[in-house]
Amino acid sequence: MSQPVSYPRVAALKTAPQFLARLAELKVTLPFDERLESGEAAPLAQPTEAGGLHPRNRFCILPMEGWDGTPDGRPSDLTRRRWGAFGKSGAALIWGGEAFAVRHDGRANPNQLALGPTSEGDLTGLRTHLVDTHAAAHGRTDGLVVGLQLTHSGRYARPNPGGGWEPITAYAHPLLDRRFPAGVTVRTFTDAELDALIGDFVRAAVTAQRAGFDFVDVKHCHGYLGHELLSAWDRPGPYGGERGRTTFLRRIVEGIRRDAKGLAIGVRVSAFDATPFRKDARGVGVPEAEMRGYAHAFGNLPDPAAAPDLEPARAFLRELERLDIRWVSVSAGSPYYNPHIQRPALFPPSDGYLPPEDPLVGCARQINAVAALKRDFPHLRLVGTSYTYLQEWLPHVGQAVVRGGGADLVGLGRMVLAYPELPADVLAGKPLRRAVVCRTFSDCTSGPRNGLVSGCFPLDPFYKAHPDAARLKAIKEGTPA
């Protein structure tokens, strides 16, 4: 796609004053430390603690699936390689590794990891590989905390070979239901089905505990089932309405506390959302409905220049505090219907749209939302998201955010696919290796959207040489084999 709207590249903002001037031009504010600290006293090197988990530094690897498991939901060599890279990164908190489907019909793609008869051994192997790689690179494993993200993909389920959509939603949605191709049946979970699904989440948590994981994340983000239930205000019955929207979470937590005693629980939540976006005639993203007053967002963004409504997130975090859940990974939006909100990028994925705003605006929106929540919930441990697009300036913003208490940990997604050693380099006071800084080309999203594996095809030599790199190039050029 060509770029009708051009934004200055972050790589071209070579000095701190240039970067800050660009933020000022965009009228966005971000915490920023010009001087990076290293050594034991550095803000990003400080340990933190809550609910029995003690990560020894302030970097967190966010969950990222690779669409590279086996058809029966087991990890492959590619999966193990990615988990090894997460271990090598030096980040002390591994938030989930990747989304793990609690049962077959909840897989987001036919290659997603899923609960099955061999899961305990498979997950033990993945976790051990990550821990061993961490030990080999950093000489220690104390203060390394590893969780598993548990999911049902709900509306975005594509469990079977061929990857056709098999959506099971939380409620009928006037805009999203009609996005599926003709012939796809969109059905809604019955109460009895949700009752049964709770048991699958609990069984997956028990398996994770047996496999040695320190915590599980009961996923509530990105448009998948848990997140969609949070906006089920109109759903009748026990799983909808103001109080019922969190029944699903409460019952899962109850089951985990009963059957997996001692296992810590975290939640990754999209703390705000917006209308679905679609391409306009130029290929640029535009809202599909009036943003102000949009009724189906959990925490609506009423206007691109306004702050999102964080009141629903505050109520949710209060509920988490009541449930004695202390760890929250804060994300936003969905990669399916508003990807520029969820993962700001200069280059859209193949099924996306050109960014309707400078991606720096999207980074600031998420980072500032986490800071606002942290002010109100000082006892929760909050992991922030959306730092990758900051590129060279990621450590400067991350350090300032943590130093100022705007988040407890800096969460890293795409950056570690391109540059796994970034946390270790920052903690050691080394300059960044600019050649492997993620430039948000989105190939790691475009690959899987086209049935290929996910990886950093542009920058990681391993994926550059992978057969799917040529396939993806052909797809992007419109000449698939």
Ligand X SMILES: Cc1cc2nc3c(=O)[nH]c(=O)nc-3n(C[C@H](O)[C@H](O)[C@H](O)COP(=O)(O)O)c2cc1C
Least distance in Å: CB of 457 to ligand SF4?
Answer: 6
Question: Stretches 240-248, 261-269, 396-404, 436-444: which one binds ligand SF4 (CB under 6 A)?
Answer: 436-444
Q: Give residues with Cβ within 8 angstroms of 421, minimum separation 6.
A: 88, 89, 90, 433
Per DSSP, 93 falls in state E
339 is a site residue for ligand SF4 (CB under 6 A): no
Q: Please, which residue, 67 or 189, has the CB nearer to ligand X? A: 67
114 is a site residue for ligand X (CB under 6 A): no
Question: Stretches 20-28, 36-44, 233-241, 457-465: which one binds ligand SF4 (CB under 6 A)?
Answer: 457-465
Full 3-state SS string of 49-62: CECCECCCCCEEEC
Query: Whole-angstrom Cα distance, residue 395 to residue 35?
Result: 10
Count the neighbouring beta carbons within 10 Å of the beta carbon of residue 210: 15
346 is a site residue for ligand SF4 (CB under 6 A): no
Query: Whole-angstrom Cα distance, residue 346 to residue 6?
Result: 9
Q: How many residues does the chain have?
A: 481
Give Cα 59 to chain centroid, integer Å: 14
Q: 247 contacts which partner out of ligand SF4, ligand X, none, CB within 5 to 8 A by kind?
A: none
221 is a site residue for ligand X (CB under 6 A): yes
- Alpha-helical (H) ranges within 355-413 are 359-376, 394-403
Q: 441 contacts which partner out of ligand X, ligand SF4, none, CB within 5 to 8 A by kind?
A: ligand SF4
Q: Residue 222 to residues 59, 185, 360: CA-CA distances in angstroms?
A: 22, 21, 20
Q: Which of 388, 391, 446, 450 binds ligand X (CB under 6 A)?
A: 388
Contacts to ligand X from residues 428-457, by CB under 6 A: 444-445, 454
Tokens of 409: 């940990």
Q: Which of 439, 449, 466, 471 binds ligand SF4 (CB under 6 A)?
A: 439
Judged by DSSP in three states, 452 sits in: coil
Q: Which of 150, 260, 415, 459 binds ligand X (CB under 6 A)?
A: 415
Q: Please, which residue, 194 or 444, has the CB nearer to ligand X? A: 444
Q: Which of 211, 459, 469, 472 binds ligand SF4 (CB under 6 A)?
A: 459
Q: Which of 458, 466, 472, 475 binds ligand SF4 (CB under 6 A)?
A: 458
207 is a site residue for ligand SF4 (CB under 6 A): no
Query: Whole-angstrom Cα distance, residue 220 to residue 359?
Result: 24
Q: Which residue is nearest to ligand X (CB)?
A: 413
Q: Residue 89 to residues 75, 137, 384, 416: CA-CA distances in angstroms?
A: 20, 8, 17, 7
Contacts with ligand X by CB under 6 A: the residue count is: 24
Per DSSP, 37 falls in state P
Question: Stretches 245-253, 258-266, 352-360, 380-388: which one binds ligand X (CB under 6 A)?
Answer: 380-388
By CB atoms closer than 10 A (0-12, 13-18, 19+), residue 20 is middle
Instruction: Look up tokens 């407890």; give the residue.
Output: 408
Q: Please, which residue, 33 or 217, has the CB nearer to ligand X? A: 217
Q: Please, which residue, 31 or 458, has the CB nearer to ligand SF4? A: 458
Q: Which of 74, 155, 343, 449 binds ligand X (CB under 6 A)?
A: 343
Least distance in Å: CB of 387 to ligand X?
Answer: 5
Q: Which of 284, 354, 418, 426 binds ligand SF4 (CB under 6 A)?
A: 418
Question: Stretches 39-47, 68-76, 294-302, 442-450: which one binds ligand SF4 (CB under 6 A)?
Answer: 442-450
Q: Which of 59, 171, 387, 419 binds ligand X (CB under 6 A)?
A: 387
Instruction: Look up tokens 């997603």; give the residue.
Output: 112
Nearest to 450 by CA among 343, 350, 348, 342: 350
420 is a site residue for ligand SF4 (CB under 6 A): no
Tokens of 190: 């019955």
334 is a site residue for ligand X (CB under 6 A): no
Question: Which residues are at the interface with ligand SF4 (CB under 6 A)?
Answer: 414, 417-418, 438-444, 456-459
